[in-house]
Amino acid sequence: MKQTEKTVTLITPHLLTSQEVQDLMGISRRTLCQWVREGKCPAIRIGRAYRYDYSALLKWFASQATSYKEPVEPEVKFNLVSRPGEDIAD
């Protein structure tokens, strides 16, 4: 019986290490661990290590963005009070 060669292509997501995620997002190890522990950040546990699917991480990060709003100047009203004997011009 003759064996034929088969090619198997696995489509695997690009998995990032914790250090790569920290560098990519500009966050500390402590922050990343806290987000994973609280279930805020998508992570895959492999043994004792965590790995992060790049595309899932980008989708999650984009969903966390908040729209920027221009600061609003508080409306200030002044009540002019005249001293006795003074007139206040409008």
Domains of the chain are: 15-64 (1.10.10.10)
Tell me the pLDDT band of 73, cut-offs 50, 70 and 90.
Answer: low
Q: What is the pTM of this model?
A: 0.57
- The reported pLDDT for the residue numbered 50 is 93
Q: What is the model's pLDDT at position 78?
A: 62
How many other CB atoms are there within 10 angstroms of residue 62's CB atom?
Answer: 8
Residue with tokens 């064996």: 3
| Mean pLDDT, rounded, for 4-16 | 65
Decide if pLDDT at 85 tops 80: no
Average pLDDT over residues 18-23: 91
Amino acid at 7: T
